[in-house]
């Protein structure tokens, strides 16, 4: 059986602004992929996300294959979240003209594998941190990731 989780929050900005903060590589690097992103999240493309401060690894690079992009609605991709590729869906929903609900669902871990279960919990935590960093970035222009992992986990 495959494990799956969904996290969500509401951001006090219009949907187009929140979508662009995830889609645009320069903006994404301002709060999440702090080592850079090689391109926009266009359907059918492959990009590299680099995390310069990943606990226990320096830097960590994730290969991300974008399987679907619908402007202001969703971005779907596959990446190495577990021992096999996992599938992530980022959904954007207008709660009003100035509020956006963002949901991230990731699936594909092997429930019978202890290491994969552990990775799924770590990714759930990571996506939760990402949406709150996105909220701070969009609403206040600050980078919550800056310094968050420095000195943790032997890094």
| Cβ–Cβ under 8 Å, residues 100 and 15 | yes
Tell whether 154 is covered by a domain.
Answer: no
Measure the CA–CA gap between 17 and 124, rounded to whole angstroms.
Answer: 24
Measure the CA–CA gap between 89 and 68, rounded to whole angstroms.
Answer: 9
Tell whether 56 is covered by a domain.
Answer: yes
Confidence (pTM): 0.91
- Size of the chain, expressed as the number of residues it contains: 155
The total domain count for the chain is 1
Specify the pLDDT at position 155: 44
Specify the pLDDT at position 129: 93
Q: What is the CATH number of the domain that holds 95?
A: 3.30.530.20
Tell whether 97 is covered by a domain.
Answer: yes
Tell whether 152 is covered by a domain.
Answer: no
Tell whether 146 is covered by a domain.
Answer: no
Write out the two tokens for 71: 């402007």
Tell whether 19 is covered by a domain.
Answer: yes
* Count of CA atoms in the C-beta half-sphere (13 A) of 111: 6
Specify the pLDDT at position 138: 98
pLDDT in single tens digits along all 155 residues of the chain: 578 999 999 999 999 999 999 999 999 999 999 888 999 999 999 999 988 876 555 556 678 999 999 999 999 999 987 678 899 999 999 999 999 999 999 999 888 889 888 889 989 999 999 999 999 999 999 999 887 776 665 54
Tell whether 74 is covered by a domain.
Answer: yes
Domain containing 62: what range?
2-140
């Amino acid at each position: 059986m495959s494990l799956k989780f969904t996290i969500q929050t509401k951001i006090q900005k219009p949907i187009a602004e929140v979508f662009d903060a995830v889609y645009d590589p320069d903006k994404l690097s301002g709060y999440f992929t702090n080592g850079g992103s090689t391109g926009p999240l266009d359907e059918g493309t492959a990009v590299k996300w680099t995390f310069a401060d990943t606990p226990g690894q320096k830097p960590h690079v994730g290969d991300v294959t974008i399987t679907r992009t619908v402007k202001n609605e969703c971005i779907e991709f596959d990446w190495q979240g577990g021992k096999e590729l996992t599938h992530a869906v980022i959904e954007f929903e207008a709660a009003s003209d100035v509020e956006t609900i963002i949901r991230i669902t990731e699936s594909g871990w092997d429930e019978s594998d202890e290491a994969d279960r552990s990775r799924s919990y770590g990714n759930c935590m990571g996506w939760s941190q990402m949406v709150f960093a996105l909220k701070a970035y969009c609403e206040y222009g600050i980078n919550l990731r800056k310094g968050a992992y420095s000195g943790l986990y032997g890094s």
